[in-house]
């Protein structure tokens, strides 16, 4: 009787042990699944945080990108527009009121310079204080030279009457010297030479030569 009871007891213990092992295995499987899920979530969050940090850093980094050809062209265009400010302001009148006195007694006053669309006009007044008649433009077209600092020369248009701009003793001459052309947009100054073949300092000359320059166009 004792031997039979002992065998039954061993079978009961074996079944309990098997059930406990199954429960343990199931618990380990559940813990492993939870651990994997948590690890994936951590990795995802970490990746997102890294992306955000990279975006912020990229926004804060200074840009060292060189200008494109189009940007360089726009800068050149702006420079050209600045150079052409004289053109954009035409017509334009510059008040001068500068007096020039020659050794022979002739007094020439440059009153104003008018920059037009097609002509440049210089208003003058001259008084002959010499002992003989004088000519301000002996030789017609070539007797007046108007040039800017870029080297452009503007042709002189002498008047039909008094072609050589003669002034008799003690008389006064008022009028406008007309030159053909629109002022060069890059020019910053103008200079006028009268009677280039005349004399700049002789007392007895009848072709006094004057030089006038305006430097603030």
> What CATH number is associated with residue 145?
2.60.40.1240
Q: What is the average pLDDT across 27-45? A: 49
In a domain, 198, yes or no: yes
Is the same domain home to 158 and 193? yes
What does the alpha-carbon distance between residue 42 and residue 116 come to, in Å, rounded to a whole number?
78
What are the pLDDT digits (tens) for 53-83? 444 444 555 555 666 666 666 666 665 655 5
In a domain, 82, yes or no: no
In a domain, 113, yes or no: yes
What are the pLDDT digits (tens) for 108-152? 999 999 999 999 999 999 999 999 999 999 988 889 999 999 999
Band of pLDDT at residue 172, cut at 50, 70 and 90: very high
Is the same domain home to 108 and 182? yes
In a domain, 54, yes or no: yes
Q: Which residues contact 144 (CB under 8 A, 6 or more apart)?
A: 137, 156, 158, 177, 179, 192, 193, 194
Residue 68 is classified by DSSP as P
pLDDT score recorded for residue 217 = 84
Is the same domain home to 3 and 97? no
Is the same domain home to 195 and 94? yes
Number of domains in the chain: 2
Is the same domain home to 136 and 197? yes
- Does residue 8 have a pLDDT over 50? no
pLDDT score recorded for residue 79 = 59
Is the same domain home to 34 and 137? no
In a domain, 121, yes or no: yes
Domain that holds residue 55: 1-64
Which residue's structure tokens are 């503007």? 154
Is the same domain home to 55 and 94? no
Longest dimension (CA), the chain: 173
Instruction: Identify any residues that bridge with 172 across adjacent strands, giving them in sequence order.
Output: 127
- Does residue 200 have a pLDDT over 90? yes
């Amino acid at each position: 009787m004792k031997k039979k009871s002992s065998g039954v007891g061993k079978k009961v213990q074996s079944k309990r042990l098997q059930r406990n092992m199954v429960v343990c295995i199931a618990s380990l499987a559940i813990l492993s699944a939870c651990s994997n899920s948590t690890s994936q979530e951590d990795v995802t969050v970490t990746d997102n945080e890294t992306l955000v940090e990279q975006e912020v850093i990229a926004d804060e980094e200074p840009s060292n990108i060189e200008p494109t050809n189009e940007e360089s062209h726009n800068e050149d265009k702006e420079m050209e527009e600045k150079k052409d400010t004289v053109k954009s302001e035409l017509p334009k009148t510059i008040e001068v009121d500068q007096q020039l006195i020659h050794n022979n007694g002739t007094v020439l006053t440059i009153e104003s310079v008018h920059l037009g669309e097609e002509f440049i006009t210089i208003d003058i007044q001259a008084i002959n204080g010499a002992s003989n008649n004088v000519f301000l433009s002996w030789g017609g077209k070539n007797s007046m030279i108007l040039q800017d600092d870029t080297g452009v020369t503007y042709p002189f248009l002498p008047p039909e009457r008094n072609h050589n701009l003669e002034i008799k003793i003690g008389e006064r001459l008022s009028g406008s010297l007309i030159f053909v052309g629109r002022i060069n947009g890059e020019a910053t100054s103008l200079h006028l030479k009268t009677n280039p073949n005349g004399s700049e300092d002789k007392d007895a000359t009848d072709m006094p030569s004057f030089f006038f320059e305006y430097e603030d166009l």
